[in-house]
Amino acid sequence: MIKKEGCGFGMISYHPSAMTVEIKQFVDSLICDSGYLNERSLRVVDATLGDGGHSEVFLKCGCSVLGLDMDKESIERAQKRLNKIFKNIDSPQDSLNKFEFQCFQSRHSQIKKIMKKIGWKKCDIVFADLGARLDQLYREDMSFHGVEEADMRFDKSENTLTASEILNSYSEAQLNKIFKESGIKGYKKITNEIVRNRHISSMPCKHLSEVLFENGVKRIHPSTKIFMALRREVNRESQELDLLLNSILEIIRAGGIGVFLTWHSAEDRQVKTFYKKMERMGFGEIVTKKPIQPNESELARMPQVRSAKLRVFKFNKI
């Protein structure tokens, strides 16, 4: 169920956060293992703030949170949600310094710079939920539902290609590559129909479903892998994830944990490969030898979480 909160301008529908119970267990375990809670709260970098559902979990555990997101609308929604919640949370009894919540519109490459700006030398948890918000699947600028061509850029101020521009300008080989990497079956047929039809007239993104359906390709819904593949390409999500993973050693303390929630096989491989590399190099250990997946109760409540995988790594040596 999507949570709704009043915000002064009507009601906001919030994206339901996945696997919050399991994530809270890892946070609680780290709190118990930490010997300095009398000095300050744990510091969490939520690198994909989204609607703030996971940051809410961290705040309620008594952590300080730095939230980052490329999507300006996400930042605004999370601020409205968490500022209200934040005021109603009491700091842990044994904490000398009040915990805090701050958020910034930012790419992952700016994490270290922003941490320095707010006075954090290191953090205790790096968290990322790599899925899209449900409302993004139905926003006219982020999906195939709108009457205009799809943009799909999280940050509209950036001078980068939109989804429609990619569909109309990428070569057949380039489209094949991004669809193949996204695990789309029959990607060559899909690409062929896209290229063939755009030669007749420039094909707005909104017509993609119609074109493929008319030519015998399985009907495409905005929440499918086609949407995800284009969104990932537009926002350079694979490259951004690499930047985030490769920055962790610079921003996390010894004893801290990396917590990544993936929804797609390509990004899950990136996280898994990185964790194995860190373990092999002696920086720590993989806590989740096999990824944790949603339990039956959560699947019954939110069937869309069936592809989610949670992976955790503990950095014992920095």
Whole-model pTM: value is 0.81
Whole-angstrom distance, CA of residue 145 vs CA of residue 150: 9
In the 8-state DSSP scheme, what is residue 17? Answer: P
How long a stretch of residues is the chain?
A: 318
Whole-angstrom distance, CA of residue 223 vs CA of residue 314: 33
Q: Which residues contact 73 (CB under 8 A, 6 or more apart)?
A: none
Per residue of the chain (318 residues), what is the pLDDT tens digit? 323 333 333 445 666 789 999 999 999 999 887 654 556 789 999 999 988 999 999 998 989 999 999 888 889 888 888 877 666 555 444 433 456 889 999 988 899 999 999 999 999 999 999 876 555 555 656 655 555 567 888 778 788 888 888 888 899 999 999 988 888 888 898 888 888 877 655 555 556 666 666 655 655 554 467 777 888 888 888 899 999 999 999 999 999 999 999 988 889 999 999 999 999 999 999 999 999 999 999 988 888 888 899 999 999 977
Q: Supply the pLDDT for residue 187.
A: 86
Amino acid identity of residue 136, one-letter, is Q
Q: Supply the pLDDT for residue 207.
A: 62
Quote the tokens at residue 215: 């030519």
Q: Supply the pLDDT for residue 94.
A: 40
Cβ(254)–Cβ(317) below 8 Å: yes
